[in-house]
Amino acid sequence: MIEGSKVLLVDDNREIIDILTDFLTLNGCKIYKAFTGKEALELLSKSDLEIVILDVKLPDVNGISLIDSIKIKNPTIGVIMITGYHDPNLIVEAMKKGASDFLIKPFEFDKLILVMMRVVRERGLLIEKQKYLDTLEDKKKIELLNRELQKKIQELTTMYHISNKFNSLNILDDVYDRMIQIINEVMDGRDCRYYIVDNENKELMLYKELTNGNGGFNNRRREISDELMKEAHSTKRYYIKDDEVFLPLVIKGEYIGFVVVNSKGKNGRHRSNFSDSDIFFLKLVTEKASTQIENRMLYESLFEGVLHTLTSLITAINKRDLYTEDHCKRVTKTSLALGEMLKVDTYEKDVLRVVGPVHDVGKVGIPDAILLKPGKLTDGEYDVIKAHSVFGEEIMNRFEILSHEAKMIRHHHERYDGRGYPDGITGIEIPRGARIIAVCDTYDAMVTNRPYRNALTKEEAVREIIRCKGSQFDPDIADCFADMVKNV
């Protein structure tokens, strides 16, 4: 929908200009470039531009001040502001001057495309409206145009709603559940089902459904007709039979399933046909779902490879220090039990499950003479040991998908009162997972015999945890931990 658009990119960062140029050129746009406000105004006077993507901070002028000049040149030009700083006042000022949207760097290309699609559609309507206003201002035509504009705004709102719903999914959410929920919302509560393709038996098998309880449906397996596959593989990419529409989910060219939407809506009411708008939104939902599923497959493959690499690192550490192996296992087990008592969500439990065994991975960078020293450490040696949390973060940050886990490893020796290391952050600035591991890590160290001291009893260790709540430990987590240990 943005193919053929004439787009002016205005930013003093040449790398950003080059990235946006490559991406938008692939999407069929004609690109013009400016690195200063002056260059932008010169291009505006020479070229019939349609969209300006404009940075707020330019070498010679504030980008927002250029909006007035752009709108004077052509009020139908769509202006999309971009910046690396989130300032609500700038957003308000830009919108007042006529900017169409405001994106914070770094932004996702999907979001940029959606914004540009909206700008193109709005611009088309503004141009048409301007033509009517420039003639006799035919009242009926203006009213019709306004109604059409409202319809387009509603369409764009629905598109944003669909995209936002999918973008808010985390890795543990069920894509298929979310997909049929979105369809049910967008399609006025109509019955929706998702079928998996059984190629061997040439059947569709029901996997998920969301209905209004109107009854009369028993087709849990359905035959795949030649007509269905013919229409699904055609440029239409959908098939309508009786009061149902079928749309495929496609991953790398393979048809993995079909969404089937019935014309029956709320209160059992039937709508005899599906409008072009209905088909458009259903295609958008199935395409978004297909992308999400494909991304999950890629994520799981990458994650499996990362865990294999981390397992190798853990093995290397354990061969140097057997205490670390058993200690990490115990800390992981205790952290998961404590997370259960604290009612952390499933995602955070999975993060603890990953971080627990590797929270001391940074010890791979500690010399054996210090790591395996049987006696008390000197101050200098202790400083080297303390660096293991930073080393651990550096190792984890080599894997982009473990950035959250990397922060927890960095901060698992921070103190609630800010006197910990390496950054001295306080309270809820410390990730909750790191606060959970801090308590379990300290407790396990206290109840374990070491060459330079004897272990404390369970009761003595719990008293020490309680004594240090509010200073070393999160008070709520410390209290919950004490209750957990006493009830074991």
Q: What is the per-residue pLDDT across 30-47, written as a single tens digit (0 to 9) for each?
A: 999 999 999 999 998 888
Query: Which tokens belong to 331?
Result: 């800390």
DSSP readout, 308-343? HHHHHHHHHHHHH-HHHHHHHHHHHHHHHHHHHHTT
What per-residue confidence (pLDDT) applies to 461? 93
Residue 205 contacts residue 300 (beta carbons within 8 Å): no
CB-based burial label for 89 (10 Å; 0-12, 13-18, 19+): exposed
What per-residue confidence (pLDDT) applies to 132? 63
What per-residue confidence (pLDDT) applies to 423? 94
Domains (range + CATH), the chain: 6-167 (3.40.50.2300), 186-295 (3.30.450.40), 321-486 (1.10.3210.10)
pLDDT at 185 over 90: no
Query: Which tokens belong to 117?
Result: 């699609």
> How many CB atoms are closer than 10 A to CB 3?
9
Higher pLDDT, 136 or 179: 179
Confidence label for 216 from pLDDT (cuts 50, 70 and 90) = very low
Q: How far apart are CA 130 and CA 149, in angstroms?
A: 13
What per-residue confidence (pLDDT) applies to 339? 93
Query: DSSP secondary-structure letter at 237?
Result: -
CA dist 383 to 123, 354, 377, 419, 484, Å?
62, 26, 9, 14, 33
Mean pLDDT score of the chain: 83
Query: DSSP secondary-structure letter at 31?
Result: E
What per-residue confidence (pLDDT) applies to 125? 80
Q: How far apart are CA 124 and CA 68, in angstroms?
A: 20
Mean pLDDT value across residues 223-234: 85
Higher pLDDT, 459 or 326: 459
Higher pLDDT, 434 or 147: 434
Portion of the chain with pLDDT greater than 70, in percent: 87
What per-residue confidence (pLDDT) applies to 39? 92
Query: DSSP secondary-structure letter at 276?
Result: H
Most confidently modeled of 67-71, 206-210, 414-418?
414-418
Mean pLDDT value across residues 312-323: 67
What per-residue confidence (pLDDT) applies to 336? 94
- Find the angle CA(311)-CA(315)-CA(316) to the nearest 5 degrees: 120
